[in-house]
């Protein structure tokens, strides 16, 4: 069974989700494709404080 990599130490941890996807769009007028990369993550510094980091990137081709 796959075990996700982890980055946890005393008081500091990193948790996140990484996604790669492809979309196909089709409308009355045209069609296109989009490849997307998404990252949603949290760096937790203590029980009370964290900093979230999101990165979204998409490349559309007609």
Partner 1 sequence: MRRFQLVPTIQFSNGSHVGGYLQSVSFSTSPFGLDLESYGLFAGYDTQKWSIEGYAGSTTLDMQYSSLSSNNIGVTAALRPTDSFEAFCRFDQSGFSEGLGTSGSTFLTAIGAQYEVQKGLLAYGVMQRFNLRGESLKGYAVGGSYDLAAHGIDTPGTVTLEFAKADSGYGSTQSQVTVGWVIALGNAKAHPLNSSLRTARGGVRTPLATGFVNFGVLNVLPPA
Cβ nearer to partner 1, comparing 11 with 58:
58
Q: What's the residue count for the chain?
A: 62
Cβ nearer to partner 1, comparing 11 with 54:
54
In this structure, what are the phi and psi dihedrals at residue 15, rounded to the nearest 5 degrees? -130, 140
Binding site for partner 1 (CB under 8 A): 1-2, 4-8, 13-29, 36, 38, 40-42, 47-58, 60
Shortest distance in whole angstroms from residue 11 CB to partner 1: 14
């Amino acid at each position: 069974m796959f075990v996700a990599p982890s980055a946890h130490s005393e008081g500091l941890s990193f948790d996140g989700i990484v996604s790669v996807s492809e979309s196909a769009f089709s409308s009355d007028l045209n069609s296109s494709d989009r490849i997307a990369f998404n990252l949603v993550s949290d760096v937790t510094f203590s029980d009370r404080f964290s900093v979230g980091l999101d990165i979204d990137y998409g490349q559309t081709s007609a």
